[in-house]
Copies of this chain bind each other. A is one copy, B any other.
């Protein structure tokens, strides 16, 4: 299984150049493969995480629980993502990561990761960039939740998911939709599920999306993006070309 981590390598290579030694080191990382059912935890808030998980198939999300029991989804993870750099390097998990669908993942010991980062500067740099992009996405979410109304917010999330899925598929993934419930969408947008439902209906009525059960299809990307005020720059997909 020397190519299990291939997905991670492909992802990092989108933004960094590696020489053969770097690539070999990355693919040579020790790992164990694990599968998880929907809803199960990859990491639980408050735990110490000695492993970093690389998502191979399926989706996951990060969430925080606030004082009154409310849940906020703070990030989505797609195949190829190293989903637990944050919690494992910062040692104490300040939030949980949960499987959205059934997933397979590779668990890499933190020490092994730190070792190759210390030995191969290009790999360290690649992970750093990856972390910077995660931060950039978080900032866009702050702007989305803080300054856009419910309809724009929802449209923006749909646009982001579409772009990220497209990238995953271009890299050899195989997934056409991100099967979130309306409650989960609400928790990602700071809205109630009821209101998400109403906004979805609006988008559908205007012909921007179509819906089958738990599947949302974008019918008019251009108009949806314009409703959402969506510009993909914050995803930093094309760093190599700059």
Contact = CB atoms under 8 A, between A and B. Distances in A.
Given A74-B139, A131-B128, A135-B86, A189 B146 contact: yes
A229 B67 contact: yes
Interface stretch (A100-108, A161-169, A196-204, A231-239): A231-239
Interface in A206-242: 229, 233-234, 236, 239, 242
A117 B132 CA distance: 15
A117 B121 contact: yes
Contact of A90 (B133, B146, B189): B133
Chain A interface main SS type: helix
Interface stretch (A1-9, A17-25, A91-99, A175-183): A91-99
Interface residues of A, number: 54
Interface string A76-119: 00000000011001111011000000000000000000100111
Interface in A130-156: 131-136, 138-143, 145-148, 152
B139 A62 contact: yes
A96 to B, nearest CB: 12
B132 A90 contact: yes
Contacts of A62: 139
A90 B239 contact: yes
A51 to B, nearest CB: 16
Contacts of A234: 94
Across the A-B interface, the 4 shortest Cβ-Cβ residue pairs = A146-B190, A67-B229, A138-B138, A118-B121
